[in-house]
Each structure stands twice: as C-alpha cells, then as structure tokens.
Amino acid sequence: MRRTACLLAILLCLSTQAVQADHKKSTKKTVEEFVAGFSLSAATRCSLVLNDSKQEWPAVIFSLSENNGHPDGAVLLPVSEFERTRNLRPRWGRAGLELAMLMSYSQARYWIRYSRFIEDWQYRLTWADQKRRFFTTEALRFDSNAFYLNWTHALAGMLYYEFARTNNLSWLQSLVFSFGGSLYWEYIVEWREIISINDNIMTAVGGFALGEAWFQMGRYFHNSNNPVGRLLSWLNPFMKANGWLDRKKPLSAYHHNYNRAAQDVYLFLGYRNSPVSASPDENTGNLAVSLHSRIITDSSYGLPGRVDEKFSSPFYSQMDFDFMFHGATREELGVTARVVPLGRFKQDISWDRKGFSLYYGLGSAFFLYLKRPVTDYDAGKIPVDRPEDFHFELPRDFRDKLAAVHFLGPVADLTLYSGPWKLRLKTEAYPSFGMINSLPLNSYSADNDIQGMKTTLKFYGYHYAFGPDLESLAEITYRSLRLTGFYNYVYYRSIQGRDRFQSWLTDDSPLRDSRKHYGLRLEFRIPGTLLSLTGSMEGVKRWGRVHELEARSLEKRYYLGLKYRL
C-alpha cells in the first residue's frame, strides 16, 4: 500500500508539473500573440453629463482592436513605433540638398536678370570694395526696394526653414537654415549691393514664425480624417514630399495625436461691410474668405489631470490667411503667423470639469496687412532709378500697409473651466520691427516737397521702424456660444541714419505711426454639424505724424458668415 501510495503521489506531481508546463507554454503563446497584434490603434471619446446637458469632453480611452472606425483617427502605438515617431533621424543631407537646389536656381535666375536691378549696384568685385562690405558696417543699410519685394523675403525664409523642418530637424536647427540662407543671399549672391538689414530680419526671423506655423498647420491637416483637411494638407507640399520619402508602416513620420477639442482650425466665408481702396471713406459690401489655424501640440491640454512641465519645442502655433474681395478684385490681404516655442505648461482640471490650463513663455510672430494700391508707384511697378515717372508734382496717393516681425517676447494664456463655462485670457508683448505706411504723407505731399525724404518713403510710401507691439484677448464660452474680444496695438518710430542713400537725404526727420485693431465677435456652434454662425464688429484706428502734421483714420468693419471647423 505504501509503495502504491508513493507511486500515485509521484504520478500526481508529474502530471501537475506537465499541466503547469502546458499552461505556461499556452500562456506564453497567448501573450506573444497578444503583444504581436497589440496596436492600441484608436482612441474613443466619452461624454460627461454636465448640468443635464451632454458636453463633449475628450478622454484617453483605448481599444485593443485594430480598426474601430473612430472619426478622429487618433492612434496610440506600440513602444517601438512610438519611439520611432518621437525620435526621427534628422535628414541633414537631404535638407541641405533641397536648400542648395533652390539657392542654385534662384541665384542663377537673379544673376541673369541682374541688369534689371542696376540701381542697387554699389560695390565692385575688388578686394577694397568687398573688404568694406564684409568687415565694416558701411554696407549695413536699409534698402530702397518696393514694399511687395521686401515683405516677400519672409516667404523665402519660410522655404529655407521648411526644408529643414520637414526633414526632421528641430525648430532651432531649422532656424539655422533660415538665418544661413539669408546671410548667404545678402553677402554672396548680392555681392554688388548693400547688406540689407530689413531683408535679413524678414528672411530669418519672419521666416521662422511663418515656417514653424506652416509646418504645424501642415502636420495638423496631414493627421486629419476630414476630407477637406486632407486636401488642405497639400498646402505644405514639402511635408508631403519628404513624408513620402520617409514613409514607413503603419504611420508616417509626421503622425501626431491631437486633442481635437483643444484646436481652433476653420475656414470662414461671409459678408464684410467695410471701405475699399477706391472709396476709403465709405463702407460697402464685400466678400471675406479666411483660413485660420490655432494649434496646441500638447495632446493633454484641456483634459482632466495635473500637468506641470517645461517645454522647449513649439507648444502653440497660429497661421491665418485673410482675403477680402470686392467683386473680382482682391481688396485686402492679411497674414498672421505666431509661435510659442519656449515656456512652461501648468494644468489642473478635475473630472467634473473644474480647474485651469496655463501656458506662458516666449513667442515670436509675423504680421502682414496690405490694401490694394491705386497707383503704379504704390504697387512697386516703377523702380527708383526712374524718378521722372513718379510725378512728384502731384500729391501722393498711397494706401495702408504694414509688414512686421515681432521678436521674442512674453506670452501668457490662461483658461479657467467651470462646468459648461470656459474663460480664456491671453496677453502678449513684443519688440517689433515694421515696414509701415506713413499715414500723413498723402496730405503732407500736397503742400510740401518730399523728394529729400527717406528713399522708401518718397517712392513707395513706407518707412522702416521699431517699437512695441501689445496684444490681448478675452474669450468666454458657454456650451455652443462663444464671445471673444481682442485688442492689438503697435507703435512705431522710424529708424534713423541707415538709409541706402543716406547722403542724398535733405530731410531725415523721424516719423511716427501707430495702429490699433480691436473687436468683438460672437459665435454660435450649430449642434450636430461642423458649422458655426459668426458675427463681429471691428475697428482699425490709425495715427501718424510727419513733422507737425498729424493724421488719423478709423475704419469700421462688420462681418457675418459661417465657419467650417476642420
């Protein structure tokens, strides 16, 4: 009996171990299969019931299925794929090649057409002349080019920046491309000319603000499931091209998880009542078309939880294009780009939607406002080496324009949450470089000879200036209603003593100009749609002084239209 009992005990132990081994093997196989197929490929939304009404409130809830048809298309990744999209290899060689190709084409084209810019020639290809250009401040001047030519240097800087940024370089590394491209063009390509201070500022700093905002907008559309958004992703063809070269499965290099509720990206189409260039003193009906993007890259912004962290990559970006048409004629063009790349983000929001979100740091911006010119000289169609074609015996007839680069300045944005209520407060301040139309010049030229004044002023109506830019915004949201008030103010004093033809000036007196833009906007979000009905009232108040002559103007604008959220 004892031997039988011992034998049974031994058999029981062996069978138990075998079952355990089989179970472990089966479990290991199951885990391996689970891990292999584990994609966390979609996020879903939940809704909290607030005051007996459903309000969308995004939260991170994941599904272990590969395709759950979620409309936002947000994707959570395995660790290896997550690390790949977080740590993309910078493509320095490809970025440099793309920049070199553009530079080579532009340089060849410019040198072929060099004789058309003979009024800019001031230096010869001799050691004496080039030594003065490179090693003294003699050549550092503000140039005499038309307004359209000078502000578009920011677009060139945007391209230089984008070559780097869409090849996985950081914003600081990409900034080297915009600065380097600008310096190469000014010092090498334009070796006959002065080294334009305004071109370097517009290309390098303006190119950074435009380029980063363009990159962020392109990446947002690149990740969109909205068919209109996917179409708009082609607004950044460099991201498309370089993304195709870097294509990998399952995701592209530019994949990013966005908290869609925190973004404000939309198309606007509507009616605008305001003056036009041909009748600046009376309002008339016009068509307003806009594309606006205000993007927060941190996917936890506005979600329940606590956050306190520094950021050293762009946290907020803004890219706005505004057009006004009177019939088939484009009356106004506006471009705004804004980036906050450095700062701190704090957030404390409870699950019952009470708390705050705050970010503050340093930002930079680019701004363009351009009315349709009504004369050839204001449009830049006449070069400065043909002064007889300007007909200075007639009073000037310039229209308002401003191109500004806002250098690094403090930005703070606070949002308070309480159930269905949301209050947002934002303030910004920048040191600003601008090219601004002199408001009193038209009146001044009627009784005074302006031919001895600053070169760009007498030929094209604008002057180079420096001053403070202050901006603020207050916004209150209750369910589907949003009321926004804003106020922007910039004051400029002309920069003295560095005109391209400084020795020719007989009247280099300082000029002063300011611009205030303020307004109130009401928006109603139409339930169950991507549309919002929007109406606003705005004012643009201008002031300027030439000698003792002052001028003031007030333009009133009224909007009514539809926003389509993207």
Cα separation, 291 vs 359, in Å, equals 25
**pLDDT greater than 60 at residue 9:** no
Pairing, β 140-141 against β 195-196:
parallel
CA 483 to chain centre: 23
Average pLDDT over all residues of the chain: 86
In 3D space, the residue among 200, 202, 207, 197 whose CA is nearest the CA of residue 160 turns out to be: 207
Average pLDDT over residues 263-269: 96
Instruction: Report how far residue 87's alpha carbon sits from residue 103's, in angstroms, rounded to the nearest whole number.
Output: 29
Which segment of 37-46, 93-102, 283-292, 525-534 scores lowest on mean pLDDT?
A: 37-46
Residue range 236-265, pLDDT digits in tens: 999 988 888 887 766 677 888 899 889 999
- In the prediction, which pLDDT does 80 show? 55
**How far apart, in whole angstroms, are the C-alpha atoms of residue 309 and residue 313?**
12
Stretch (H or E) spanning 356: strand 354-371
Under the banding of pLDDT at 50, 70 and 90, the label for residue 282 is very high
Helix (H, G, I), strand (E, B) or coil at 294: strand
Domain ranges of the chain: 80-238, 258-565
Does the pLDDT of residue 128 top 80, yes or no? yes
CA distance 25 to 21: 6
The predicted structure's pLDDT at residue 124: 84
Q: Give the pLDDT of residue 199.
A: 96
Task: Give the pLDDT of residue 83.
Answer: 58
**478 near 421, Cβ under 8 Å?**
yes
The answer to which of 37-51, 130-144, 315-329, 373-387 has the lowest mean pLDDT is 37-51
Residue 54 has pLDDT above 90, yes or no: no
User: Over the stretch 518-538, which tens digit does the pLDDT of each residue have?
Assistant: 999 999 999 999 999 999 999
Read off the pLDDT of each residue in 475-487 and give the average, rounded to a whole number: 97
Helix (H) or strand (E) holding 22: helix 2-36
Alpha helical stretches, state H, 363-515: 441-447, 455-460
Tokens representing residue 143 in the block? 């140039």
pLDDT at 46 over 90: no
CATH of domain 258-565: 2.40.230
DSSP 3-state of 451 = coil
Global pTM reads 0.85
The DSSP letter of residue 401 is E
Q: Which residues pair with 61 in a beta bridge?
A: 44
How many other β-carbons are positioned within 10 Å of the β-carbon of residue 229? 17
- Interval 393-425: pLDDT, tens: 999 999 999 999 999 999 999 999 999 999 999
Cα 510 to chain centroid, rounded: 32
pLDDT surpasses 50 at 10:
no
pLDDT tens profile 168-203: 999 999 999 999 999 999 999 988 889 999 999 999
Model confidence over 429-442: pLDDT tens digits? 999 999 999 999 99
Question: What backbone phi and psi angles, to 5 degrees, belong to 484?
Answer: -125, 135
DSSP string, 410-439: EEEEEEEEETTEEEEEEEEEEEEEEEEE-T
